[in-house]
């Protein structure tokens, strides 16, 4: 049994859960998954009993001195990075790492219009596009961030791999739910760099696995 358990919500809906799940899958970090169904009569009671914040995701790390529970998607990503330094989940280069943290923080604390008006609906790709309420402004900012990352860092850092900073990093995991939203509610105008990045993320094994499991969850509920 692995010493890490990630507790997440429904795969079709829980955008915050996708971030650390995607990080650990894509980085090849072993973990056990535990699922809590959201929006059920018993959900609040279960979350209040089990989760430190009353929310998902949270990570349970079994140690010799007891269980450590870490909540909040970004804090979980940081904790995992500390546990597995050999995975180098932030860029090694100081400049790239600083920008990766800024881009990540901007996602974690911002884009509220996009998050509210375009809730994640992972299995759908055919919903009407509405960019009301500041959504277009958020999309434009994300488009310019992804374009800047790919042009200024992605191509020259870490052997030119296809992620925002070349090699896969926490920044990519934090934007995975945005990739899903763009696929659900698009088409939308993106630069060639940003649309290539969206499609590359869509085609990762981890995103495909999440999608298959999201569909299975819907059909079994």
Ligand X SMILES: N[C@@H](CCC(=O)N[C@@H](CS)C(=O)NCC(=O)O)C(=O)O
Residues near ligand X, by CB under 6 A: 9, 14-17, 38, 43-44, 47, 55-57, 72-74
CB of 64 to ligand X, least distance (A): 27
CB of 205 to ligand X, least distance (A): 23
Q: Is residue 3 packed enough to be buried (19+ CB in 10 Å), middle (13-18) or exposed (0-12)? A: middle
Structural tokens at position 212: 């298959």
Q: Considering beta carbons, is residue 57 or 154 the nearer one to ligand X?
A: 57
Q: Considering beta carbons, is residue 70 or 157 the nearer one to ligand X?
A: 70
Q: Considering beta carbons, is residue 29 or 74 the nearer one to ligand X?
A: 74
- Are the C-beta atoms of residues 202 and 194 closer than 8 Å to each other? no
Q: How far is CA 10 from CA 38, 39, 84, 99, 221, in A?
A: 6, 9, 27, 31, 11
DSSP 46: H
Q: Which residues, 6+ apart, have CB-to-CB distance to 170 below 8 Å?
A: 23, 74, 77, 78, 81, 89, 90, 100, 104
Backbone angles phi, psi at 214, to 5 degrees: -65, -45
Q: Considering beta carbons, is residue 77 or 100 the nearer one to ligand X?
A: 77
- Residue 160: CB atoms within 10 Å: 10
CB of 43 to ligand X, least distance (A): 6
CB of 151 to ligand X, least distance (A): 28
3-state secondary structure of 122: coil
Q: Considering beta carbons, is residue 7 or 143 the nearer one to ligand X?
A: 7
CB of 162 to ligand X, least distance (A): 25
């Amino acid at each position: 049994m692995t010493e890490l358990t990630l507790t997440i919500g429904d795969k079709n809906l829980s955008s915050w859960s996708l971030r650390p799940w995607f990080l650990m899958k894509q980085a090849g970090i072993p973990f056990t998954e535990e699922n809590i169904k959201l929006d059920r009569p018993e959900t609040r009671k279960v979350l209040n009993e089990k989760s430190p914040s009353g929310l998902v995701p949270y990570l349970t790390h079994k140690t010799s001195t007891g269980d450590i529970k870490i909540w909040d998607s970004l804090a979980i990503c940081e904790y995992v990075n500390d546990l597995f330094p050999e995975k180098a989940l932030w860029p090694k280069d100081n400049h790239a790492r600083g920008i990766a943290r800024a881009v990540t923080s901007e996602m974690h604390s911002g884009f509220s219009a996009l998050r509210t008006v375009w809730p994640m609906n992972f299995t759908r790709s055919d919903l009407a596009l509405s960019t009301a309420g500041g959504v277009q402004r958020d999309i434009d900012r994300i488009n310019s961030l992804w374009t800047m990352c790919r042009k200024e860092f992605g191509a020259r850092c870490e052997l030119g791999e296809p992620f925002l900073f070349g090699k896969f990093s926490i920044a990519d995991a934090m934007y995975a739910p945005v990739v899903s939203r763009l696929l659900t509610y698009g088409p939308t105008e993106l630069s060639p760099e940003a649309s290539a990045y969206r499609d590359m993320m869509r085609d990762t094994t981890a995103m495909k696995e999440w999608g298959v499991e999201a569909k299975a969850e819907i059909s079994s509920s």
